[in-house]
A and B are shown apart, each in its own frame.
Chain A
Amino acid sequence: MTTQIRKQIHLAAHFPGVNNTTVWSDPASGSHVEFASFREFAQIAERGKLDFLFLAEGLRLREQNDRIYDLDVVGRPDTFTVLAALAAVTERIGLTGTINSTFNEPYEVARQFASLDHLSDGRAAWNVVTSWDAFTGENFRRGGFLAQADRYDRAKSFLQTALELFDSWRGDEVLADADSGTFLTDPHPGAFGHRDRFFDISGHFDVPRSPQGRPVVFQAGDSDEGRDFAAASADVIFSRHSTLEAGQAFYTDVKGRLPRFGRTREELLIMPAATFVLGDTEAEARDLAHEVRMAQVSPATAIAFLEQLWNRDLSDHDPDGPLPSVDPLVGEHTIAKGRASVRMHRDPVATADEWRAKAEVEGLTTRELIVEVTGRQSFIGTPAAVAATIDEYVQADASDGFVLAPHITPGGLGPFVDQVVPLLQERGVFRADYEGTTLREHLGLPLRRTDGESAVAS
């Protein structure tokens, strides 16, 4: 037996939302709105002793060709409200929600997260995301006011302000001594004042210090700015690097940024999103994975993806034929709205050339090409093989763990929890039971600083 200390793996579950990873046409696919689905999903994840469950957010229904996009799941409930309700039907699992820093105000968001942390006895986490587009802004009083260049600046300011609000109560203000009649030890609890380019607010925060002090902070973002933002202030960073080498490069880069912000390697966990398909044999898993991919990329979905890169109406294009010979349209206007992936096409013409070359060399139809280039199936195989691969990735510092997104809602996580988790437990790399009660404890994060300082990048 080796005496080498093995890293403990962190695992979480993403309730799949509005994207084509969810195979909604499967008879096993349930509602994406009814609370029963969320309860089932959360209880499966908790049965597997996972660190947390994760909910994304949307503030405008996506559109393509000036119509609401109807090929994927459309619609979802409110993040905060679902997480609070899930606190009632779970006991330990962390409750992580995406909340946008653009179309909200720090006082309100800090208040909601502090409330969630109280109501869940210390299980709340906030995935801070940014958005700037006027399209989403049309649903809000402020409208689409934010220049793209300002989005990280506002996000930094927003997070900084929210952290100041979380820290505005020290934690010893509520005495509640009935005999002496002293409820508060401080006549002015929660005093705060913040003034910068984005926020000029002051007063008294009205939620006393929450069990975790502040919720755990998550970040996503792969740009240089995004990585710095996470290195400065996040507890966990989501990434999408699916190969071992890419994961290791990202891991090294981001962990290497931490000293600049006065932080240690243990203070920021890196958890890529991951999908999985399990089978009794490798061949069965591969066949099932292919079926899943074909269900995720229907002929209509293939055309929709093609339109997002080509940025033009291709509804007459044959999904079973070659790629279009015409080049993508480049410009400010995008045919797809409200879809985050559209922003990734930085040089559409070059990407189209790459796709054409790949399709030519490999003899792929349009749909087959889309299946190839949009595929991010992380773990395909027998439970033993998947457990071994996940362990290998984590021990090799490609990540600290994974956020698993099943393709069936709400039951799709069950096979992983029942078949893979026990093998990771046997390997001694995943907990047999929760050791703490708060999410911060599950994540092994050091107790957060208590000096009121927060290291948001300036």
Chain B
Amino acid sequence: MTPTPLHLVAALDGAGWHPAAWREPDARPRELLRAGYWVDLAAEAEAGLLDAVTIEDALNLQSDDPFTPDDRTDRVRGRLDAVLVASRVAPTTRHLGFLPTAVVTHTEPFHLSKAIATLDYVSTGRAGVRVQVAARPDTATHFGRREFPPVDRASAATGPLVTELFDEAAEYVEVLRRLWDSWEDDAEIRDAATGRFVDVDKLHYVDFEGRSFSVRGPSITPRPPQGQPVVAALGHAQVPWRLIGRSADLGFVTPTDAADAARLVTAVREEQAAAGRAEETVHVFGDLVVVLDDEETTARERLARLDERAGTAFTSDAHVFTGTPAQLADLLADWQQAGLTGFRLRPATLPHDLRQVTRGLVPELQRRGLFRTGYEADTLRGLLGLTRPANRYAHA
């Protein structure tokens, strides 16, 4: 039986996911906010035929602890708006998809909808967005519109605020999708005879009334090339898995081993079915931090050196894989059997571990028939095997 090719996404953030990554010899720590740095990373990802890159973001300074700010001066701090980074880089590429992170807790769906639609225009059909909630009180004070209590670690994934924010995120995605559909594809008619630029019968008010907000519509940006850009979300627990099941085309989960991967896939599939979307394609990708070298010992030594410089052993919400590209290929093939359709690889250091993915892992997977040997589509939906959706407002 021919194996099913898997999908690969690279997760880009700063100098890489290891806190000492910026101190590596090939790091460019003074260029992390410059366009050229991101252009080069995207070119590398595209040379490796990856489906897409994600670009991390938040509306607060990075900190070692995900829930509270810190005052460390030995870590990368400061970041650019991920949607704008993606937009700056997209015209320099031809096939790579872009999944910038957008915080949906303190922003307006109307603004994000037109921004992602526009990213789809400037990339000619390669846009998506990874939606993220922000429960930290120090992020809320940047906006002053609502107050959050300190995050309770014990119930960080289950507390009432978390449920509220993820429910709100689901409403938010519903508004994004309705706004993307609020113009039918052929609404622009330019009928010189009647003087009408658009057919107003093909523009639709979305009239969304939710618990958190209401939006009238239609969008000011016409329906984007993909119809619906790809919506992604990362989840570590039931409440976020529910968001993936209800709202996403692509879910990122964080398995610890193949059995855990199977459990997480099942959990997402149950939420997907509960949301009445069992027939729809929802990808579930496994997230892994990767420390890769041609020899396993080299990778282990490099991680040890990075840990020493960071002053602490590196841990992550995702499994940290240390070894060779061939060993990683074994693991990916194994976990794929558990039901994952792809992986989001988080390079521990940039550009080193990204190059190990594109120049080591990808050829290895290709040899095994597990990865594409050329881009087979011009859109992100096409690369992910997602069809272009019909417009919910269009009636034949």
Contacts and interface: CB of A to CB of B under 8 A. Distances in A.
Interface of A: 24-25, 33-35, 39, 58-61, 67-68, 70-78, 80-82, 84-85, 87-89, 103-105, 107-108, 111-112, 114-116, 118-121, 138-141, 143, 169, 174, 176, 178, 181-190, 199-204, 206-208, 298-301
B108 A141 contact: yes
Given A61-B218, A78-B221, A87-B88, A189 B77 contact: yes
B231 to A, nearest CB: 17
Contact of B196 (A70, A77, A185, A201): A70
B79 A105 contact: no
A187 B33 CA distance: 19
Interface in B240-285: none
A82 B124 CA distance: 13
B367 interface: no
B41 interface: no
Most buried by B among A61, A121, A174: A61
Contact of B22 (A67, A103, A178): A178
Contacts of A74: 188, 197-198, 203
B33 A78 contact: no
Interface stretch (B54-62, B289-297, B316-324, B335-343): B54-62
Contacts of B62: 206
Given A35-B124, A85-B87, A141-B213, 7 more contacts: A81-B122, A84-B87, A103-B108, A111-B59, A115-B80, A139-B216, A200-B144
Contacts of B222: 33, 75
Contacts of B219: 75
A283 B145 CA distance: 60
Nearest to A89: B91
Most buried by A among B29, B121, B124, B221: B121
A181 B23 contact: yes
Contacts of B220: 58-61, 75-76
B33 A77 contact: no
B74 A182 contact: yes
Interface string B6-37: 00000000000000101110010110011100
B1 interface: no
A426 to B, nearest CB: 35
Interface string B38-79: 010000000000000000001111100000010111111111
Contact of B138 (A118, A189, A203): A203
Contacts of B115: 78, 80-81
B81 interface: yes
B35 to A, nearest CB: 5
B283 to A, nearest CB: 25
B200 interface: yes
A268 B368 CA distance: 64
- 10 shortest interchain CB distances as A-B pairs: A187-B71, A81-B118, A85-B122, A176-B29, A84-B87, A138-B216, A77-B118, A115-B81, A78-B118, A115-B80
A90 to B, nearest CB: 10
A67 B218 CA distance: 12
A58 B219 CA distance: 10
Contacts of A116: 84
Contacts of A114: 80
Contacts of B111: 78, 104
Contact of B143 (A35, A75, A103, A105): A105
Contacts of A143: 214
B83 interface: yes
Interface residues of B, number: 81
B190 interface: yes
Contacts of A103: 108
Contact of B80 (A140, A185, A207): A207
17 contacts: A61-B218, A61-B220, A77-B122, A78-B111, A78-B118, A80-B87, A81-B83, A81-B87, A82-B122, A88-B89, A121-B35, A141-B213, A178-B27, A183-B77, A185-B73, A201-B143, A203-B138
A108 B142 CA distance: 9
B4 interface: no
Given A68-B203, A107-B142, A206 B195 contact: no
Contacts of A82: 87, 118, 122
B119 interface: yes
B215 interface: yes
B387 interface: no
B92 interface: yes
A75 B220 CA distance: 5
Contact of A33 (B92, B121, B190): B121
A115 B188 contact: no
B141 to A, nearest CB: 5
Nearest to B196: A70
Interface in B352-391: none
Contact of A71 (B61, B183, B195): B195
Nearest to B114: A78
A111 B58 CA distance: 11
B110 interface: yes
Contacts of A89: 91
Contact of B107 (A108, A176, A188): A108
A108 B106 contact: yes
A298 B119 CA distance: 34
B302 interface: no
B84 to A, nearest CB: 4
Contact of B74 (A39, A104, A183, A207): A183
A194 to B, nearest CB: 9
A207 B71 contact: no
B154 interface: no
Contacts of A35: 91, 121-122, 124
A84 B84 contact: yes
B233 to A, nearest CB: 20
A92 to B, nearest CB: 14
B60 A204 contact: yes
B272 to A, nearest CB: 28
Interface in B91-131: 91-92, 106-108, 110-111, 114-115, 117-119, 121-122, 124
Given A67-B200, A78-B117, A202-B141, A118 B80 contact: yes
Contacts of A39: 91
B84 A201 contact: no
B300 interface: no
B396 interface: no
Nearest to A174: B78
A190 B142 contact: no
A120 B110 CA distance: 25
B217 interface: yes
A66 to B, nearest CB: 11
Contact of B197 (A60, A73, A104, A185): A73
B60 A75 contact: no
Contacts of A140: 108, 110, 213, 215
A206 B114 contact: no
B212 A141 contact: yes
A315 to B, nearest CB: 13
Contact of A203 (B35, B75, B114, B142): B142
A298 B183 CA distance: 25
A120 B190 CA distance: 34
A181 B74 contact: yes
Contact of B33 (A88, A112, A118, A181): A118
Interface string B177-218: 000000100001010101111111001000000001111111
B378 to A, nearest CB: 14
A85 B88 contact: yes
